[in-house]
Structure 1
């Protein structure tokens, strides 16, 4: 009888231990998930000696800063988000340094906030992502926002060859930034929809063009034009506390939704058991349809050409092993394709390399 009771006690003790271990594991797992911080960098355009545009006597640098601080204050209430600013007061910050702040912080998103101007009575809010090409009007906007380059102390060295009037200098898209284009377009659409449908602002759409501050970043990034200070009615709205709070809230809600989508994608990718992942080295892209013969690609063999819209992308070293594709990348670079980079696909759809590695 005593033996049976001792066995019962031992079984109860084991059950309690197992339950304790399970609860501890779940708590630890929850804690690990909670520790993930989504880093959002808010960039108030212009500042200090660079006032931005001065439509109707308003100062773009001041309005941009107030809206950025509104957004930062709201986002900081979310425990899963860490907010950083490129500036929190009226100081001049080099365009390259704004990007460096985000890059060094390994940010998940970069949002640059500005106000627009025009010689006409134009009005409305627009959101930009970095793009391959823009129309003449967008080029003029990019030139205005990029003008801060020439206020930097060492701009001649840092931006050697840059010509503010040249479309070739002003319009461009690095290979790494192209990787982030889909996510940039996603957050841009969320912001723009809030402006257009929630606040009923005139919808100037999501557009692509080259802003130097976006070129400096290596994560999804957008540049927001809140509206036109040169339009009297819109200028008054943007200069008012009510206007700044409303525009700030529209950006905040979009960022929160974007972060939530990132979380869902992370959970989905981590819970996927079977994944067909392949890596490739992208060595070139452009509008020209080039035969994939080795002599056209400095001796590289088995080049794959894929049509994407009006463009063609050229891949080398298709492999399911990440270490093998890294060797292919090294070979491509030694052949002279110095801008080559690794891309990843799951079941034929492009995904981030980081996500692909996690899946495997």
Structure 2
């Protein structure tokens, strides 16, 4: 029965993805860069409340400050999931972003634990790292659904404690994890360098608020209100302004890379390193390997003059992004050699991807 239930949930999710893909492909993208910012919790859902500080209030104050900053950029459109102390269901927050055909979804929260010592920022993206700490965090953020009317209908039988639901969530937004990770890194770097906060790093887990968003999405934990010193900082106007500024600069930096990052390297650059690749065949008859070299909002012809002289290029539109690929082979080691060629051409963060029956699959699933 449990196995059957797992397949039913995963089936529902895959059907949902397919329908969204078709729908998105038919829509023309707005010229503006659309950012949906979400103040976590609200109304009857207060979120964490420690030391006299309330998560829902701090999150809203930071989101309003962030929105005001972003609205000063001409080609950025800001949409709020809430601008007052109002309860918004988790599914509705994602629905707002999807209906807006947003380029980014950023959900803002505060952390809290029983121990008064921990402090620092965290930025979460969808993933399947099931450490005990991460799983408990995901359960805590997801269990707000029980405050909603008709939650069983809205979440198709989702259970925050269910491994089957974990599988479904991971499948659903896998296509946008790469871009979400890049934004998350920018956010955490800015918290360190701009806001001078301690970063606890980038985290991955299955979170309902970013489950159904059909765009790169992150959940930001500004810090621990259970820590008196950090709570005081986050509750202050100066602290909120610093955190909002760090978020704003990360979002605009991400936007710039999306707009311009073609012909140089994939989003996020590293120092090129060339690895030795085995000179033997490793053929998978039913698999096609390509090297992803770039992701951008710009629609370019897959011609060598646009990609530093590389040939045998292809592109694929995924939501509002175009992904560009080099090569096409069933030999994994040949694909790895193509990856090294791409690195030498300046695409330091290029990586091998796999397709089966025309659909992208997880490389870790290869046998």
Q: TM-score, normalised by structure 1?
A: 0.67
The match for 1:198 is 194
Q: Does 1:276 align with 2:313?
A: yes
**Superposition deviation, residue 129 in structure 1:** 0.3
Secondary structure of the residue that 2:204 maps to in structure 1? strand
Partners of 1:95 and 1:213 within 8 A in 2: yes
Aligned length: 262
Partners of 2:170 and 2:206 within 8 A in 1: no
Secondary structure of the residue that 2:300 maps to in structure 1? helix
Q: Does 1:187 align with 2:224?
A: no
1:248-287 matches, cutoff 5 A:
248-265=244-261, 266=296, 269-270=299-300, 273-274=303-304, 276-277=313-314
CA–CA separation in structure 2 for the residues paired with 1:247 and 1:169: 33
The match for 2:219 is 223
Q: Does 1:178 align with 2:174?
A: yes
CA–CA separation in structure 2 for the residues paired with 1:267 and 1:145: 31
In the alignment, structure 1 segments of 5+ residues that lack a partner are 1-34, 280-303, 319-341, 345-360
Question: 2:356 pairs with 313, 316, 322, which one?
Answer: 316
Partners of 1:187 and 1:258 within 8 A in 2: yes
How far does the alpha carbon of each residue in 1:62-86 deviate from its partner, in whole angstroms, 9 at most, with x for none?
A: 1000100111000000011000010
The match for 1:153 is 149
**Superposition deviation, residue 201 in structure 1:** 1.3
Question: 1:90 pairs with 62, 69, 85, which one?
Answer: 85
Question: 1:107 pairs with 102, 111, 117, which one?
Answer: 102
Give the structure with the larger helix fraction. Answer: 1
Q: Does 1:119 align with 2:126?
A: no
The RMSD of aligned alpha carbons is: 2.8
**Superposition deviation, residue 235 in structure 1:** 0.5
1:1-360 matches, cutoff 5 A:
36-120=31-115, 121-170=117-166, 172-265=168-261, 266=296, 269-270=299-300, 273-274=303-304, 276-277=313-314, 315-317=355-357, 342-343=359-360
CA–CA separation in structure 2 for the residues paired with 1:250 and 1:63: 16
Partners of 1:127 and 1:192 within 8 A in 2: yes
Partners of 2:173 and 2:212 within 8 A in 1: no
**Superposition deviation, residue 176 in structure 1:** 5.0
Partners of 2:191 and 2:246 within 8 A in 1: yes
CA–CA separation in structure 1 for the residues paired with 2:297 and 2:178: 19
Label 1:43 to 1:193 Cα distance change in 2 as closer, same or farther (>3 A): same
Q: TM-score, normalised by structure 2?
A: 0.66
Partners of 1:305 and 1:313 within 8 A in 2: no
Secondary structure of the residue that 2:47 maps to in structure 1? coil
**Superposition deviation, residue 200 in structure 1:** 2.3
In the alignment, structure 2 segments of 5+ residues that lack a partner are 1-29, 262-295, 305-311, 317-329, 336-351, 362-367
Secondary structure of the residue that 2:123 maps to in structure 1? strand
CA–CA separation in structure 2 for the residues paired with 1:130 and 1:237: 28
Label 1:69 to 1:171 Cα distance change in 2 as closer, same or farther (>3 A): farther
Partners of 1:43 and 1:111 within 8 A in 2: yes
